[in-house]
Amino acid sequence: MDNELAIVARGLRKAYGKNVAVAGVDLEVRRGEVFALLGPNGAGKTTTVEILEGYRRRDAGEVSVLGSDPATPAADWRNRIGIVLQGVGEFDELSVSELVHHFAGFYADADDPEKVIARVGLAGKARARTHTLSGGQKRRLDVALGIIGRPELLFLDEPTTGFDPEARREFWQLIRDLAAVGTTIVLTTHYLDEAEALADRVGVIAGGRLIEVAAPEHLGNRQQAHATVSWRTPEGRTESTESATPTELVTELAARFDGEVPGLTVTRPTLEDIYLQMIGHR
């Protein structure tokens, strides 16, 4: 198995009865990479990720995660991966600190629990029972338990659901810090800005198929997409034109207006525009 690749999946398939959730996915994630899986509800993201985590059995296909088949992993395999599930598991009657300390004890070389609690922004809640946490705080606890073992490979299934904007920014910084020390990260998300901010590459999955894998800036030929140039006419109307050569158009406009072009904007389709087009036209 190629040492440069943290994850290799070929022809991955999984059906629930007649419902084919994953229909032949080929996927490669490089070591040290941040890989985002995007896709509409029911696209097969969780199913794919949980097969890679060793939770679900695949019907067909070959999978290698850190050199092991997740269905029959090597002894220390779980020491090397961290998991943040989409669904939370609630422990009864335990505090944040007790839980994080306890989980730290499962790993060969866990991080410092207090530091991890602070890192996910729960320092003020360390003594609180977990059932008293708010939704976003519970999610932070999930993240803490996912990273406590200092994983080589970290899976996060919609990690920022329920985060307030500030928490989301802090979480992004956390992911960048983890990536900076070489952690491979696979995350699923519905937030396109998140994928764009964090991911080296994005995979778009729809109907159980991976329809494209690319760097966020290249997704759906985004760079070649026409730009939209708009400006205000002397009569006060807003005019827009799509153009493959926006610079030329702006120069021409500048000449026409003899200087400043009123209300000038040049925009390219956002990742969200491209994404909606991709999953809409499949």
Partner 1 sequence: MTTTLKPATAARAAGHQPGPLALALRQGRLELTQFLRSRESVVFTMGFPVVMILIFAAVFDGEIAPGVSYPQYFITGMIATGLMTVSFQNLGIWIPIERDRGVLKRYRGTPMPKWVYFAGKVIMVVVVGVIETALLLAVSVAVFDLQLPGAATKWLTFGWVSVLGITACTLCGIAVSSLARTSRSGSAVVTPIALVLQFISGVFFVFTELPSWMQQTAALFPLKWMCQGLRSVFLPETFAGQEPGGSYELGRVALVLAAWCVIGLLLCLGTFRWTTRRDG
Ligand X SMILES: Nc1ncnc2c1ncn2[C@@H]1O[C@H](COP(=O)(O)OP(=O)(O)OP(=O)(O)O)[C@@H](O)[C@H]1O
**Through-space distance between the first and last CA atoms of the chain, rounded to whole angstroms:** 33
Rounded Cα–Cα distance for residues 246 and 223 (Å): 13
Q: Does 40 sit near Mg ion (CB under 5 A)?
A: no
Kindly list the distances between the CA atom of residue 217 and the CA atoms of 36, 86, 192, in Å, as whole numbers in the listed order: 13, 27, 12
Per CB under 8 A, does 166 bind partner 1?
no
d(C-alpha 83, C-alpha 225), whole Å:
37
From the list partner 1, Mg ion, ligand X, none, which binds 133 (C-beta under 5 to 8 Å, kind-based)? none
For residue 72, state whether it binds partner 1 (rule: CB under 8 A). Answer: no
Question: Per CB under 5 A, does 46 bind Mg ion?
Answer: yes
Q: Does position 2 bind partner 1 by CB under 8 A?
A: no
**Interface residue with ligand X, options 29, 46, 78, 178 (CB under 6 A):** 46
Q: Tokens in use for 86?
A: 């989409």
> Which residues between 66 and 125 bind ligand X (CB under 6 A)?
86
Q: Looking at the DSSP assignment, which residues form a beta bridge with residue 144? A: none
Q: Work out whether 86 is an interface residue with Mg ion (CB under 5 A).
A: yes
Q: Are 108 and 76 in contact (CB under 8 A)?
A: yes
Q: Which stretch binds Mg ion (CB under 5 A): 42-50, 165-173, 223-231, 237-245?
A: 42-50
In this chain, which of 43, 83, 185, 195 binds ligand X, going by CB under 6 A? 43
Q: How far is the CB of 223 from partner 1 (least distance, A)?
A: 24
The residues binding ligand X (CB under 6 A) are 16, 19, 21, 39, 41-47, 86
The residues binding partner 1 (CB under 8 A) are 3-4, 14, 16, 30-33, 47, 50, 53, 55-56, 76, 78-80, 83, 85, 87-94, 98, 102-103, 105-109, 145, 149-150, 152, 178, 181-183
